[in-house]
Structure 1
Amino acid sequence: MRIPFIKMHGLGNDFIVLDARDGDMPPLEAHVARALADRHTGIGCDQLIVLEPSEVADFRMRIRNADGGEVEVCGNATRAVAMLHGEPVEIETVAGILSARPEEGGAAVDMGEPEFGWDAIPLSDPMDTLDMPVGWDGLERPVAVNVGNPHAVFFVRDCDKVDLARLGPAIERDPLFPERVNVNVATIENRSEIRLRVWERGAGLTRACGTGACATAVAAMRRKLVDREVVVTLPGGKLLITWGEDGRVTMTGPATESFRGSFDWGDFA
């Protein structure tokens, strides 16, 4: 069975997009996702995006990370599929329904209202999520935010000097985070700019993470370090994050189609 795919990226965070809305594609199991995501023997990606029919939105988006694990939401992928759709769209995800509208070169996504309760992150123990009394080898007192998936945000003097490749996996899998966590290290440049690097749960170091940018911006706003609209600069580029008075977070940024192709399902199953 030949399966068509679209390779896309949002600021270098790359995806394989598979359209299963006609029901002809077999279920994407974890081992198939891992094989397709392999950059040496597969197509290569950070996440695999499967579009399915939905009874409550225009379509459903399911997401598997490169390790095969399914996750709730991906901000960069939401911009990408909104751009593919070509008009305002509602997208069903595990985290709820996201609204998006294409813009020139990308899309704006209503990411909904962030959650801050320790049990909504979730954490294994009750604690103040605005100033968590924990640390890992110099990374201390993070902010925890759930923007559809869980994030820990550390504010540091220079995020580029943090050994995130070493510390990211340890924090991601710490027992404090029963569903694992995305790890963000951020530097406040001024009231309207943040510099950010992200260790993404199940994907590792990434050039961009849309939910990470949202979580980091909200964390900085809660600590009154920045204004309610900021530019977040990641290794792959910039995202504009706004936290409105209605409590909802909007992420605006680019998305790009790289190429299209097809593969034989049996080669990876």
Structure 2
Amino acid sequence: MSVKIPFTKMHGLGNDFVMLSGPDVAGLDLHPDRQKETLEKLAAFLCDRHFGVGADGLILPVPPSDPTRFDVRFVYLNSDGTWAEMCGNGIRCFALFVRDLGLINRDAFTVETLAGPISPKINVDRSVTVDMGPPVLEPAQIPFVAPGAQFPVQRLALDVLGQSVPVTPVSMGNPHCLVFQDELPQKLDPAVYGPALEKHAAFPAKTNVEFIETLSRNHLKVTVWERGCGFTLACGTGACATAVGAIMLGKADQDVQVALPGGALRIEWDGNPRSSVLMSGPATYAFKGEIELPVELLPKVPA
């Protein structure tokens, strides 16, 4: 026995997602509060690029825990089935997705995420600007645990594969480790140091890793190693964290283009730790389809 479900494929600068909605999975109970394990297995299956649809993550909207505070709840799982607090490219796709579905009838609204409230706004050209909230710079909240870690942590040297690597940790609801390549005697290989930093003991919740080149005061180039995914073409929270780190360190102005392999995002931040970070960029539909779910992936619906 098997069940076929419709899906939508979207991407933000090549950072791609399988999107499911309530109508898509009518009859299946996929609420994360009741079917956590099912969603984890489903994400790993759907995101597999050989046997599934193929994506960096699975996204679905569910009713918010408090409708007086939030319009909709954002649920995101990485391609390996692990949960993530937030995804910058994903939240832009999510905003356009729920607006086009008619789940939300306004262009600006409030989304509940594991990282707290996020406020996207759909622009006239269908790009999306997201108020990502203030950056998290307190080490314990990132979380980042290392000798000498004091607010804000800047250029703290970690021993990584026998090399001293200066890192600047920032959270945008999920942890990021910023490595500025110009602060090293020679550039690090992201394929080697990305996974090593992701699982470094200083990051108890693991971390995303950004390898950054400063091209000018308003132009940064980034290679992203994403926690639970590996290399991705873009990472919205990573672009925000990159801009925050560069502005804090005096490397960039307060309005900066962050170039990722899949394209560029505009990030604005005034340098005040209490101020929100604004991210603007595209959200793109790729295709729609239908996929058959193996019986072992079907959720157990309460009688």
- Residues 142-201 of structure 1, C-alpha deviations (whole Å, 9 max, x = no match): 111011000010111399964212211111011111100000010111111100011000
Q: Aligned partners of 2:172, 2:239: CA distance in 1, in Å?
A: 10
Match of 2:190 in 1: 164
Match of 2:103 in 1: none
Q: 1:33 to 1:241 in 2, by over 3 A?
A: same
> In the alignment, is residue 89 of structure 1 matched against residue 117 of structure 2?
no
Match of 2:78 in 1: 65
Q: Aligned partners of 1:105, 1:268: CA distance in 2, in Å?
A: 38
- The alignment's TM-score, normalised by the length of structure 1, stands at 0.93
More strand by share: 1
- The alignment's TM-score, normalised by the length of structure 2, stands at 0.83
Q: Aligned partners of 1:268, 1:233: CA distance in 2, in Å?
A: 41
Match of 2:104 in 1: none
State the 1:106 CA deviation: 2.0
Q: Aligned partners of 2:157, 2:197: CA distance in 1, in Å?
A: 14
Return the match for 1:202 from 219, 228, 236.
228
Kept after mapping to 2: 8 A contact 1:80/1:106: no
Q: May I ask how many residue pairs the two structures share in their alignment?
A: 269
Match of 2:12 in 1: 10
Q: Aligned partners of 1:45, 1:210: CA distance in 2, in Å?
A: 16
> In the alignment, is residue 39 of structure 1 matched against residue 49 of structure 2?
yes
> In the alignment, is residue 53 of structure 1 matched against residue 26 of structure 2?
no
Q: 1:118 to 1:253 in 2, by over 3 A?
A: same
Match of 1:251 in 2: 279
- Residues 44-93 of structure 1, C-alpha deviations (whole Å, 9 max, x = no match): 00010011011231211111001100000000011112122152221111
State the 1:109 CA deviation: 0.3
Unaligned runs of 5+ in 1: none
With 163-172 and 33-42 compared, the bigger mean Cα shift is at: 163-172
Q: Aligned partners of 1:252, 1:39: CA distance in 2, in Å?
A: 28
State the 1:33 CA deviation: 1.1
> In the alignment, is residue 78 of structure 1 matched against residue 91 of structure 2?
yes
In the TM superposition, 1:194-233 aligns within 5 A as 194-233=220-259
- Residues 203-241 of structure 1, C-alpha deviations (whole Å, 9 max, x = no match): 100000000000010000000111111000000000000
Kept after mapping to 2: 8 A contact 1:3/1:25: no
Kept after mapping to 1: 8 A contact 2:47/2:57: yes
Q: Please provide the CA RMSD for this pair.
A: 2.1
Match of 2:146 in 1: 125
With 80-89 and 38-47 compared, the bigger mean Cα shift is at: 80-89
Kept after mapping to 1: 8 A contact 2:266/2:281: yes
- Identity level (%): 38
Unaligned runs of 5+ in 2: 31-37, 101-106, 298-303
Return the match for 2:136 from 115, 123, 136.
115
Return the match for 1:101 from 121, 133, 154.
121
State the 1:263 CA deviation: 2.0
State the 1:262 CA deviation: 2.0
> In the alignment, is residue 152 of structure 1 matched against residue 177 of structure 2?
yes
State the 1:131 CA deviation: 2.3
Instruction: Flag the structure with larger Rg.
Output: 2
Q: Aligned partners of 1:107, 1:164: CA distance in 2, in Å?
A: 29
State the 1:139 CA deviation: 6.6
SS at 1:29 equivalent = helix
SS at 1:112 equivalent = coil
